[in-house]
Amino acid sequence: MNSKPDLKQLQQRLGYQFSNPEHLLLALTHRSYGNRNNERLEFLGDSIVNMVIAEHLFLQFEQAKEGQLSRLRARMVKGVTLAEIGREFDLGRYLRLGSGEMKSGGFRRESILADTVEAIIGAIYLDSDFYTCREQVMRWFKPRLQKLNIQDTQKDPKTRLQEYLQSRQFPLPQYEVVSVEGEAHAQTFHVSCALSSLDRKTEGVGCSRRIAEQQAAQAALQALGVEND
């Protein structure tokens, strides 16, 4: 969150020692801090992490179809997962943010943490080579990859609900945040889901709006009799 983060400490957390620490410093620099920021590194890192995870899944699940592999990869490289990795490194404390972004709690924001993780991956690639970078990515993702199985390829509740409604030419669901409770760093979201084909709204609760919406969609699928509890 400052102009001179403790790069030595962060490198220990990452498990990688940069030959040129300026690569890491740039990866930690959000666009709100200045024109020279991590957006290009984020672009590079996004491509690398998708390639590395795709390769691993291709080799691990030999019988999986293309759609199943795509959904498994999406689960691994989505913003929520990347942000979780960022929190494991306590990444928020090392970010370089503009004053406005800092005051609004940007160092806790899921999207900023996820983008920074991708930027760091890009920085490691520039600082070393693809094989070293792949090794780092695999080490960070290993605990999550070990838990994956082919059943994880089922589409998320919001997608399933949308496809169900579209197949019957029904209007799409309307999600609404009913309330938000708690402090900025530990909020609980209450979300409702309204359907023209249901006479009541379903509700979901979660630590993020996305999770709450997924819960509300799952409840809608159950209320429609599409899925069991």
Catalytic (active-site) positions: 46, 118
Distance CA 208, CA 107 (A): 16
Distance CA 163, CA 29 (A): 39
Distance CA 8, CA 5 (A): 9
DSSP string for residues in 82-104: HHHHHHHTTGGGG-B--HHHHHT
Distance CA 4, CA 196 (A): 54
96 with 2: CB under 8 angstroms?
Answer: yes
